[in-house]
Amino acid sequence: MKTIRGPGIFLAQFASDTVPFNTLEGIARWAAGYGYKAVQIPTWDTRLFDLETAAVSTDYCQHVSGVLGAQGLVISELSTHLQGQLIATHPAYDESFDAFAPVALRGRPAARQEWAVNQLLLAARASRNFSLDAHATFSGALAWHMFYPWPQRPAGIIDEAFGELARRWRPILDAFDDAGVDVAFEIHPGEDIFDGATFERFLAAVGNHSRANILFDPSHFVLQQLDYLAFVDLYSERIKCFHVKDAEFRPNGRTGVYGGYLDWIDRAGRFRSLGDGQVDFGALFSKFAKYDFSGWAVLEWECCLKNPEDGAREGASFIRDHIIRVTDRAFDDFAGTATDRIQNRRLLGLENP
């Protein structure tokens, strides 16, 4: 059995132009001060990280590792969530997602997609240079606007969408395979891969590619009213990354799963800081222990109520207290006896050979 690693923290929600959050050294010192052991790095944030240099320079990677190591930290995974979103974007969302790309590419969807693909290829090489096992990203979406079947979807249109999504991702998955790194798609509304059924559809479209895997975040399951514990039972072999994030779902007479276009604080489904929501983390960490998950438990803080620094401080101890150091023996070994086949057959009422 394997023990999950942690606590780790995703830096995306904390990086800013304010000290200490505007440099890798500063934010690393801050995270280590709360007891974190690893950081998940948003590769689009050039205040913290240079993806292009990391893809070609082992010296730079050693420098980054040294900055983190000086604070007792390592990299859990690199993240290309924003770039992955741009691998596949429906025209209805073009202007909204333009902010995810360099200014020179805005309003140029084809060039923006080409840039995003190259970013993922760089991330594969950078992950290899850091000797990482997994990479966190989004799938992008061509069909998300059709998630509710009204108006009726034309026959075959979802197969067409997933076929195109697979066509775009297949060479990227091959590049990660060459690098020896798993691609972990976050199961997330707004992506074409947003639940188990859509992951299965994508997996089939890429020929069950061994590098097409999952970033598991239970908060998105609470908001969809999906059974996150059963999901782990079904897909444990494909789960390679774990965002530890809490959420609550409290429907009422005005709004439910779809949210009523309300601000986060007024929605029935809301993300919360760890321990303030409804996720059964005791059961969840038990599942990960059962299935020998040896990756990182990484805090992703998104809460509409609590101060982020409080969420980060409480999150480190919350994760640490939930990690199950797996046992190396059965609890009833003290009552065990040596294997004796003759005795076993006798106890079963069988003749010995």
Give me the pLDDT at residue 195, please. Answer: 98
- Distance separating alpha carbons of residues 5 and 40, to the nearest angstrom: 13
How does residue 100 score in pLDDT terms, banded at 50, 70 and 90? very high
Identity of the residue numbered 102: P
Is the pLDDT at 331 greater than 80? The verdict is no
Distance of CA 292 to the CA centre of its chain: 17
Pairing of strands 269-272, 246-249: antiparallel
Domain boundaries, the chain: 5-347
Give me the pLDDT at residue 274, please. Answer: 98
Give me the pLDDT at residue 352, please. Answer: 79
Residue 87 tokens read as 């691998």
| 3-class SS of residue 11 | coil
- Distance separating alpha carbons of residues 225 and 315, to the nearest angstrom: 24
Q: How far is CA 44 from CA 22, 28, 101, 116, 298, in A?
A: 13, 17, 9, 11, 18
Q: If you average pLDDT over every residue of the chain, what do you get? A: 96
Helices (H) and strands (E) counted in the chain, each on its own, are 13, 10
**What does pTM read for this prediction?**
0.95
Kindly state the average pLDDT of the residues 14-36.
98
Give me the pLDDT at residue 241, please. Answer: 98
Give me the pLDDT at residue 185, please. Answer: 99
| 3-class SS of residue 246 | strand
- Distance separating alpha carbons of residues 143 and 314, to the nearest angstrom: 38
Give me the pLDDT at residue 295, please. Answer: 97
How many CB atoms are located within 10 Å of the residue 158 CB? 17
Tens digit of pLDDT for each residue in 7-22?
Answer: 999 999 999 999 999 9
Is the pLDDT at 46 greater than 90? The verdict is yes
* Burial (0-12, 13-18, 19+ Cβ within 10 Å), 64: buried
Torsion angle of the four alpha carbons 17, 22, 28, 30, in this order, in degrees rounded to the nearest 10: -40
Pairing of strands 134-137, 239-244: unpaired
Q: How far is CA 56 from CA 52, 53, 127, 195, in A?
A: 7, 5, 11, 35
CB 248 within 8 A of CB 304: no
Is the pLDDT at 221 greater than 90? The verdict is yes
Q: How far is CA 249 from CA 23, 28, 279, 281, in A?
A: 36, 33, 10, 16
Is the pLDDT at 254 greater than 80? The verdict is yes
- CATH superfamily assigned to domain 5-347: Divalent-metal-dependent TIM barrel enzymes (3.20.20.150)
- Distance separating alpha carbons of residues 97 and 11, to the nearest angstrom: 21
Is the pLDDT at 333 greater than 90? The verdict is no
